[in-house]
Structure 1
Amino acid sequence: MDLLLVALGFICMIVGVFGSFLPVLPGLSSCWVGLLLLYLTKAVENNYWLLGITFVLMVVITILDYVIPSRGTKKFGGSSYGVWGTNIGLVIGILAPIPFGVIIGPFLGALIGELLYDSQNHKRALKAATGSLLGFLASSFINFMFCIIYLGIFLSTIWKYRNILF
């Protein structure tokens, strides 16, 4: 049973790493489930502090995944129309069956929102949309880095308990 939990945990880790930059797959939450599965084995002693801290970090970063692109829009001079456009574009981009929809959606949403706010200032609209794109890329990078950290914790724990697990 322990080997099955370790194998499922490793699959969750791989899915999580890929999901950190492929929005179709769950990212950091999948990595956390992988850690949880590892700690559910009888061979690995429970570490509630590690699981609790990684859970809180996962929740905070998941929330930030939705906040950072809109903050990027605002930082680059976008109005509330651009911020709303970014958020609406993100939802549409996630649901739309187009490649890179999660990147294109917030960008186009911010651009359209800013053009609705001021249809004469195309340069400002493009700048706000670029802020949205940079916010998304920053968010993806943070997500990816934490997935790699969770994978490192997973692998080091397996290595520590390798004699008992295998």
Structure 2
Amino acid sequence: MEVIGWIIAIAMFIIAFAGLVFPIIPTALFIVGGFLLYGLIDTFEGMTIWFWIIQVLFVILLFGADTLSNLVGVKKFGGSKAGMWGSTIGLLIGPFVIPVAGILVGPFLGAVIAELVVSRSGVKQSVKTGIGSLVGFLTSVVTKGLVMVVMIAVFIFFIK
């Protein structure tokens, strides 16, 4: 049963990492789902209260990384709340409208359009905000990827 548990857990982890590129996939849900399915199929024996406390803290960090990175990226480059919302909407829609490149183009265009339309910023400032949203998104992807790797390493440490 352990092998089946590992296969399912690894499949869940792979889907979670796909969520770094397709933000519609809830990365934290799939990582924790991998832990829970492994436990249900094999055993929860190594998953102590300390394991779950650590993992909950990492899940909070995952959620915070998304919001904070986007906020800091847009604000650092002089953007408004509209730019931040535009970036978020572009991030969700971009990959579906423009496959592959949409993950980068979406947040950029979303921030630029929001700044132009809602905040009535000039073109130069709107593009600067778009670049900030892109920097924030890429920072978020790297941060979330590292946190997910650490979560899986903690999982392996506790169950072995």
Q: TM-score, normalised by structure 1?
A: 0.76
Give the AA of the match of 1:144. Answer: G
Query: Sequence identity, in percent?
Result: 32
* C-alpha contact 2:24 2:92 (8 A) present in aligned 1: no
Deviates more, 1:147-156 or 1:131-140: 147-156
Please say which structure displays the higher CA radius of gyration.
1
Unaligned runs of 5+ in 1: 161-166
The Cα offsets for residues 81-131 of structure 1, whole Å up to 9 and x where unpaired, read as 322322332332255363232322221011112222336x22211111111
Shift of 1:25: 4.5
**1:103-114 → structure 2 map (5 Å cutoff):** 103-114=104-115
Q: Secondary structure at the match of 1:99?
A: coil
**1:65-104 → structure 2 map (5 Å cutoff):** 65-93=66-94, 95-96=96-97, 98-104=99-105
Give the AA of the match of 2:38. Answer: L
* C-alpha contact 1:72 1:135 (8 A) present in aligned 2: yes
- Match in the other structure for 2:48: 47
Give the AA of the match of 1:35. Answer: F
- Match in the other structure for 1:163: none
* C-alpha contact 1:12 1:31 (8 A) present in aligned 2: yes
- Match in the other structure for 1:10: 10
CA RMSD of aligned residues (A): 2.6
Distance (Å, rounded) in 2 between the aligned partners of 1:137 and 1:6:
30
Q: How many residues align?
A: 158
Q: TM-score, normalised by structure 2?
A: 0.79
* C-alpha contact 1:20 1:143 (8 A) present in aligned 2: yes
Deviates more, 1:143-152 or 1:97-106: 97-106
Unaligned runs of 5+ in 2: none
Distance (Å, rounded) in 2 between the aligned partners of 1:113 and 1:50:
42
* C-alpha contact 2:23 2:91 (8 A) present in aligned 1: no
* C-alpha contact 2:23 2:92 (8 A) present in aligned 1: no
Distance (Å, rounded) in 1 between the aligned partners of 2:138 and 2:49:
32
Shift of 1:141: 0.6
The Cα offsets for residues 44-93 of structure 1, whole Å up to 9 and x where unpaired, read as 33312212331342144135424532431122101233223223323322
* C-alpha contact 1:28 1:146 (8 A) present in aligned 2: no
Q: Secondary structure at the match of 1:45?
A: coil
